[in-house]
Structure 1
């Protein structure tokens, strides 16, 4: 085996080890059982090419984690995955929140932190689409 082949083999082996370790770290508990209510929001930015506006919106969304009924939060941007007809990449920022129950989601809607977020960030978005999910 040449030095180049050995390096490729070691690199591949290391990547497999890292991937296996990451897979083992994935929690086995079911999010649907843990938090049965999900609130998924997609934002279309008024200035979709503005990284500054996107970053301001992301920072604003992250403040929602301080609301006591928000049990988990994930904030994201469009992934650079394969382009397919069924994949919508027209939005700019997404938030995915999890709640214990409908009452917790209702508290979130009226919470001063959520209202402050809307007041401070609504000028950044052109469109918002919300999917409220009762997991099964």
Structure 2
């Protein structure tokens, strides 16, 4: 699982995306605090649920005042045993620091996203990390 997060983070840093074309909402990774959220939808193959979930994510990205990097994607089919491809979507957002991430958790855009989309998922796993200067 941890290797999956490292791979996903490296893909974001390198500019490679696997489910979303870069657009005006994509911003550079802020290494201060990275928030990675994996979602398992109740009906992962249901196109209407996917559209509804993606619409809610896009709205969150557009309206969030605190999230810097704004990325979401779907897992590619795993080709190695160490890669977890069981989730339906990944959301990666970054912040200057943990205090900014706390503000994001409480902001209206984030609360609205949860209200609009939580009925669509059965499981959510979050990985937060604070950057280390090398």
- TM interval, shorter chain, is 0.7 to 0.9
Given candidates 107, 118, 123, the residue that maps to 2:119 is 123
Q: How many residues are matched?
A: 106
Counting only pairs closer than 5 Å after superposition, residues 1-136 of structure 1 correspond to structure 2 as: 31=29, 34-65=30-61, 66-80=63-77, 82-136=78-132
Unaligned stretches of 5+ residues in structure 2: 1-13, 16-27
2:33–2:96 contact (8 Å) kept in structure 1: yes
Mean Cα deviation higher: 105-114 or 53-62: 53-62
Q: CA deviation at 1:51?
A: 2.1
TM-score scaled by length of structure 2: 0.72
Distance in 2 (alpha carbons) for counterparts of 1:79 and 1:60: 22
Q: CA deviation at 1:55?
A: 2.2
| CA RMSD, Structure 1 to Structure 2 (Å) | 1.8
TM-score scaled by length of structure 1: 0.71
Unaligned stretches of 5+ residues in structure 1: 1-25
The structure where helix makes up a greater share of residues is: 1
